[in-house]
Amino acid sequence: MRLLLKRRYTPRGTLGRLFLGSRQLCFIREAPKSCYSPSRHCLEEGVYELEPVHTEAEGWRIRLGDGGWILSKAPDRVPETGELCPVTAYRADGTPLFTRLAFLKLLDELEEAWGGGEVVELEVVSRGVPYRLESCRIPSYS
């Protein structure tokens, strides 16, 4: 099974939509692209294998390859480097809504595939950076 994350970059954060086939599962929020914030940035584009992880301290999370996570974060907490945070919807002012619900729905969707021994992957693609900031002129494929 392969999920597709289509995203766009802004100076304050990276916004995306997560799809399974042609069906949108949820929205995703991430830290900004590294050229906007070198200390806190989003994952690089590519393909990542997903693996569920549970700990007593943090509960359920989904590991993305070697360096990222899909996890639930409260609307008032900003995503850190390599964190993808599911969101059900946004208010008009941009505040994320139902972040925990979005994560649980995603986990339910993927649980059947993992239970059947299927490999679940995430492909991350994005629109090019529309800004003229020199450090952002890194090739980006749509």
What's the confidence (pLDDT) of residue 142? 46
Instruction: Read off the amino acid at residue 135.
Output: S
Evaluate if pTM is beyond 0.75: yes
Q: What pLDDT is recorded for position 130?
A: 56
CATH architecture, domain defined by 2-136: Beta Barrel (2.40)
Which pLDDT score, from 0 to 100, does residue 87 have? 93
- DSSP letter assigned to residue 92: T
Q: Over the chain (142 residues), what is each successive 10-residue block's mean pLDDT?
A: 90 88 93 78 89 89 90 88 91 84 92 91 80 54 48
Task: Give CB contacts under 8 A, 24+ apart, made by 65-68.
Answer: 67/43, 68/43
Domain locations in the chain?
2-136
**What residues contact 87, with CB distance under 8 A and at least 6 apart?**
26, 27, 28, 29, 96, 97, 98, 99, 102
Cα-flanking dihedrals φ and ψ of residue 98, to 5°?
Answer: 55, 50
Q: What integer pLDDT is reported at residue 38 of this predicted model? A: 74
